[in-house]
Protein backbone atom coordinates (compact mmCIF):
# COMPACT_ATOMS: atom_id res chain seq x y z
CA UNK A 1 0.00 0.00 0.00
CA UNK A 2 1.15 3.54 -0.64
CA UNK A 3 2.26 5.22 2.57
CA UNK A 4 3.05 8.65 1.25
CA UNK A 5 0.68 10.83 -0.70
CA UNK A 6 1.99 13.89 -2.48
CA UNK A 7 0.08 17.06 -3.08
CA UNK A 8 -0.36 18.53 -5.61
CA UNK A 9 -0.20 15.85 -8.28
CA UNK A 10 1.06 18.43 -10.76
CA UNK A 11 2.57 21.88 -10.39
CA UNK A 12 3.52 24.36 -13.10
CA UNK A 13 5.51 27.49 -12.27
CA UNK A 14 7.79 30.05 -13.90
CA UNK A 15 11.54 30.00 -13.62
CA UNK A 16 12.70 31.86 -10.52
CA UNK A 17 9.58 31.07 -8.50
CA UNK A 18 9.54 28.77 -5.50
CA UNK A 19 7.94 25.33 -5.70
CA UNK A 20 6.35 23.65 -2.68
CA UNK A 21 5.27 20.04 -2.61
CA UNK A 22 3.60 18.30 0.29
CA UNK A 23 3.57 14.72 1.48
CA UNK A 24 1.31 13.03 4.01
CA UNK A 25 1.79 9.59 5.48
CA UNK A 26 -0.10 7.26 7.77
CA UNK A 27 2.15 5.30 10.13
CA UNK A 28 5.15 5.92 12.35
CA UNK A 29 8.42 6.49 10.54
CA UNK A 30 12.15 6.42 11.17
CA UNK A 31 12.83 8.92 8.42
CA UNK A 32 11.30 10.50 5.36
CA UNK A 33 13.11 10.98 2.08
CA UNK A 34 12.58 12.93 -1.10
CA UNK A 35 13.57 11.73 -4.55
CA UNK A 36 13.58 13.21 -8.00
CA UNK A 37 12.93 11.41 -11.26
CA UNK A 38 13.61 12.81 -14.68
CA UNK A 39 11.35 11.46 -17.40
CA UNK A 40 11.99 7.79 -18.09
CA UNK A 41 14.93 7.52 -15.73
CA UNK A 42 15.69 6.15 -12.29
CA UNK A 43 15.09 8.06 -9.07
CA UNK A 44 17.76 10.20 -7.49
CA UNK A 45 17.93 10.67 -3.74
CA UNK A 46 17.67 14.34 -2.74
CA UNK A 47 17.42 14.58 1.02
CA UNK A 48 16.64 12.55 4.13
CA UNK A 49 15.08 13.91 7.30
CA UNK A 50 14.93 11.82 10.47
CA UNK A 51 11.84 11.59 12.62
CA UNK A 52 13.47 13.69 15.37
CA UNK A 53 14.33 16.52 12.97
CA UNK A 54 11.99 19.31 12.00
CA UNK A 55 13.80 21.02 9.15
CA UNK A 56 16.70 20.32 6.85
CA UNK A 57 18.41 22.26 4.07
CA UNK A 58 20.46 21.20 1.10
CA UNK A 59 21.36 23.87 -1.43
CA UNK A 60 18.07 25.22 -2.83
CA UNK A 61 16.08 22.49 -1.09
CA UNK A 62 14.33 22.88 2.22
CA UNK A 63 12.44 20.01 3.82
CA UNK A 64 10.21 20.19 6.85
CA UNK A 65 8.73 17.36 8.84
CA UNK A 66 5.79 17.50 11.24
CA UNK A 67 5.39 14.08 12.84
CA UNK A 68 2.32 15.18 14.81
CA UNK A 69 0.53 15.88 11.53
CA UNK A 70 2.33 13.09 9.67
CA UNK A 71 3.30 15.45 6.92
CA UNK A 72 6.35 16.85 5.16
CA UNK A 73 6.99 19.54 2.62
CA UNK A 74 9.71 20.05 0.05
CA UNK A 75 10.50 23.60 -1.00
CA UNK A 76 12.66 24.30 -4.05
CA UNK A 77 13.71 27.92 -4.12
CA UNK A 78 14.53 29.96 -7.22
CA UNK A 79 13.46 27.15 -9.52
CA UNK A 80 15.12 26.49 -12.86
CA UNK A 81 13.88 24.80 -16.01
CA UNK A 82 16.25 21.94 -15.17
CA UNK A 83 14.21 21.26 -12.00
CA UNK A 84 11.40 19.95 -14.20
CA UNK A 85 10.88 16.37 -12.98
CA UNK A 86 8.70 14.19 -10.80
CA UNK A 87 9.30 14.40 -7.07
CA UNK A 88 8.52 11.55 -4.70
CA UNK A 89 8.42 11.30 -0.97
CA UNK A 90 9.27 7.97 0.63
CA UNK A 91 8.90 6.83 4.20
CA UNK A 92 11.17 4.49 6.10
CA UNK A 93 8.87 2.73 8.52
CA UNK A 94 9.75 1.42 11.95
CA UNK A 95 9.19 -2.21 11.02
CA UNK A 96 11.91 -2.82 8.48
CA UNK A 97 14.46 -1.64 5.98
CA UNK A 98 12.23 -0.76 3.07
CA UNK A 99 10.87 2.46 1.68
CA UNK A 100 7.28 3.09 0.73
CA UNK A 101 6.80 5.67 -2.00
CA UNK A 102 4.04 8.08 -2.80
CA UNK A 103 2.78 8.63 -6.33
CA UNK A 104 4.75 11.78 -6.91
CA UNK A 105 4.31 15.40 -7.90
CA UNK A 106 5.06 16.36 -11.50
CA UNK A 107 6.82 19.73 -11.44
CA UNK A 108 7.12 21.77 -14.62
CA UNK A 109 9.28 24.88 -14.53
CA UNK A 110 8.65 27.10 -17.54
CA UNK A 111 11.58 29.17 -18.85
CA UNK B 1 29.75 7.51 -6.47
CA UNK B 2 27.75 4.37 -5.97
CA UNK B 3 26.53 2.93 -9.20
CA UNK B 4 23.59 0.65 -9.74
CA UNK B 5 23.55 -0.74 -13.24
CA UNK B 6 20.56 -2.36 -14.87
CA UNK B 7 21.49 -4.48 -17.85
CA UNK B 8 18.90 -3.16 -20.30
CA UNK B 9 17.15 0.18 -20.75
CA UNK B 10 14.47 -1.22 -23.04
CA UNK B 11 13.32 -4.78 -23.47
CA UNK B 12 10.58 -6.36 -25.59
CA UNK B 13 9.54 -9.91 -24.81
CA UNK B 14 6.79 -12.25 -25.89
CA UNK B 15 4.03 -13.56 -23.67
CA UNK B 16 5.10 -16.75 -21.95
CA UNK B 17 8.82 -16.10 -22.19
CA UNK B 18 11.05 -16.36 -19.14
CA UNK B 19 12.62 -12.95 -18.60
CA UNK B 20 15.70 -12.06 -16.58
CA UNK B 21 16.33 -8.49 -15.42
CA UNK B 22 19.81 -7.99 -14.02
CA UNK B 23 20.99 -5.43 -11.51
CA UNK B 24 24.55 -4.91 -10.31
CA UNK B 25 25.83 -2.48 -7.67
CA UNK B 26 29.45 -1.65 -7.06
CA UNK B 27 29.57 -0.43 -3.46
CA UNK B 28 29.14 -3.56 -1.37
CA UNK B 29 25.60 -2.70 -0.29
CA UNK B 30 23.80 -5.33 1.72
CA UNK B 31 20.28 -4.36 0.76
CA UNK B 32 18.87 -4.55 -2.76
CA UNK B 33 15.35 -3.95 -4.04
CA UNK B 34 13.19 -4.40 -7.11
CA UNK B 35 10.28 -2.04 -7.74
CA UNK B 36 7.92 -1.64 -10.64
CA UNK B 37 6.52 1.74 -11.57
CA UNK B 38 3.21 2.23 -13.32
CA UNK B 39 1.25 5.42 -14.04
CA UNK B 40 -1.23 6.15 -11.30
CA UNK B 41 0.16 3.40 -9.07
CA UNK B 42 3.54 4.82 -8.16
CA UNK B 43 6.40 2.53 -7.15
CA UNK B 44 5.48 -0.87 -5.80
CA UNK B 45 7.95 -3.20 -4.14
CA UNK B 46 8.27 -6.64 -5.74
CA UNK B 47 11.10 -8.28 -3.79
CA UNK B 48 14.05 -7.26 -1.67
CA UNK B 49 17.14 -8.87 -0.25
CA UNK B 50 19.15 -8.21 2.92
CA UNK B 51 22.10 -10.38 2.02
CA UNK B 52 23.40 -13.06 -0.29
CA UNK B 53 20.85 -15.83 -0.80
CA UNK B 54 18.33 -13.93 1.32
CA UNK B 55 15.07 -12.69 -0.18
CA UNK B 56 11.85 -11.22 1.10
CA UNK B 57 8.55 -10.72 -0.70
CA UNK B 58 7.37 -7.20 -1.20
CA UNK B 59 3.86 -6.04 -1.93
CA UNK B 60 3.40 -7.61 -5.37
CA UNK B 61 5.60 -10.74 -5.69
CA UNK B 62 3.15 -12.81 -7.72
CA UNK B 63 4.55 -13.84 -11.08
CA UNK B 64 8.11 -12.89 -10.09
CA UNK B 65 11.07 -14.53 -8.43
CA UNK B 66 14.54 -13.28 -7.56
CA UNK B 67 18.05 -14.55 -7.20
CA UNK B 68 20.95 -13.19 -5.19
CA UNK B 69 23.92 -15.52 -5.50
CA UNK B 70 26.50 -12.74 -5.14
CA UNK B 71 26.34 -9.63 -3.01
CA UNK B 72 26.62 -7.24 -5.94
CA UNK B 73 23.99 -8.84 -8.17
CA UNK B 74 20.22 -9.06 -7.71
CA UNK B 75 18.22 -10.61 -10.53
CA UNK B 76 14.50 -10.36 -11.11
CA UNK B 77 12.90 -13.24 -12.97
CA UNK B 78 9.55 -13.22 -14.70
CA UNK B 79 8.73 -16.90 -14.84
CA UNK B 80 6.23 -16.60 -17.69
CA UNK B 81 5.87 -13.05 -18.92
CA UNK B 82 2.39 -11.65 -19.31
CA UNK B 83 1.15 -8.40 -20.82
CA UNK B 84 0.21 -7.06 -17.38
CA UNK B 85 3.90 -7.16 -16.49
CA UNK B 86 4.62 -4.44 -19.03
CA UNK B 87 6.12 -1.76 -16.82
CA UNK B 88 9.18 0.21 -15.78
CA UNK B 89 11.35 -1.89 -13.46
CA UNK B 90 13.65 -0.13 -11.04
CA UNK B 91 16.46 -1.69 -9.02
CA UNK B 92 17.89 0.02 -5.96
CA UNK B 93 20.46 -0.65 -3.27
CA UNK B 94 21.30 0.67 0.18
CA UNK B 95 23.90 -0.16 2.83
CA UNK B 96 23.10 -1.44 6.28
CA UNK B 97 22.50 1.25 8.84
CA UNK B 98 19.53 2.22 6.73
CA UNK B 99 18.32 4.95 9.04
CA UNK B 100 20.87 7.33 7.59
CA UNK B 101 20.89 6.39 3.95
CA UNK B 102 18.70 6.74 0.94
CA UNK B 103 18.46 4.34 -1.94
CA UNK B 104 20.64 4.46 -5.01
CA UNK B 105 18.58 3.58 -8.05
CA UNK B 106 19.52 2.21 -11.43
CA UNK B 107 18.32 3.91 -14.60
CA UNK B 108 15.41 1.51 -14.98
CA UNK B 109 14.37 -1.11 -17.52
CA UNK B 110 11.26 -0.43 -19.54
CA UNK B 111 9.83 -3.86 -20.30
CA UNK B 112 7.15 -4.40 -22.91
CA UNK B 113 5.48 -7.80 -23.12
CA UNK B 114 3.68 -8.41 -26.40
Residues of chain A in contact with residue B92, where contact means CB-CB under 8 angstroms, are 42-43
The residue-averaged pLDDT of B100-104 equals 88
- How many other C-beta atoms are found inside a 10 Å radius of the C-beta of residue A35? 25
The reported pLDDT for the residue numbered B1 is: 66
Per-residue pLDDT reduced to its tens digit, B15-49: 999 999 999 999 899 999 999 999 888 899 999 99
CA distance B108 to chain A (A): 5
Residues of chain A in contact with residue B110, where contact means CB-CB under 8 angstroms, are 40
The reported pLDDT for the residue numbered A5 is: 79
A41 with B50: Cβ contact below 8 A: no
A43 with B103: Cβ contact below 8 A: yes
The reported pLDDT for the residue numbered A96 is: 62
The reported pLDDT for the residue numbered A22 is: 95
The reported pLDDT for the residue numbered A2 is: 44
Per-residue pLDDT reduced to its tens digit, A1-60: 345 678 888 999 999 999 999 999 998 899 999 999 998 889 999 999 999 999 999 999
The reported pLDDT for the residue numbered A62 is: 98
Q: Which of B101 and B14 is assigned the larger pLDDT?
A: B14
- A55 by DSSP, 3-state: which? strand
Residues of chain B in contact with residue A31, where contact means CB-CB under 8 angstroms, are 99-100
A98 with B110: Cβ contact below 8 A: no
Separation of alpha carbons B79 and A108, rounded Å: 39
Burial of B1 (C-beta count, 10 Å sphere; 0-12/13-18/19+): exposed
Per-residue pLDDT reduced to its tens digit, A46-104: 999 999 999 999 999 999 999 999 999 999 999 999 999 999 999 987 766 688 998 89
Amino acid sequence: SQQGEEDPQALSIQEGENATMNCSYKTSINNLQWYRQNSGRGLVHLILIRSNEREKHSGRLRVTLDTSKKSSSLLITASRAADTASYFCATDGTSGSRLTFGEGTQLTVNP
Amino acid sequence: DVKVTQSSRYLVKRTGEKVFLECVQDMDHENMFWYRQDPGLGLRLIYFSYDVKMKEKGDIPEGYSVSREKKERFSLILESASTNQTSMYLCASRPQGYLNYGYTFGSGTRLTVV
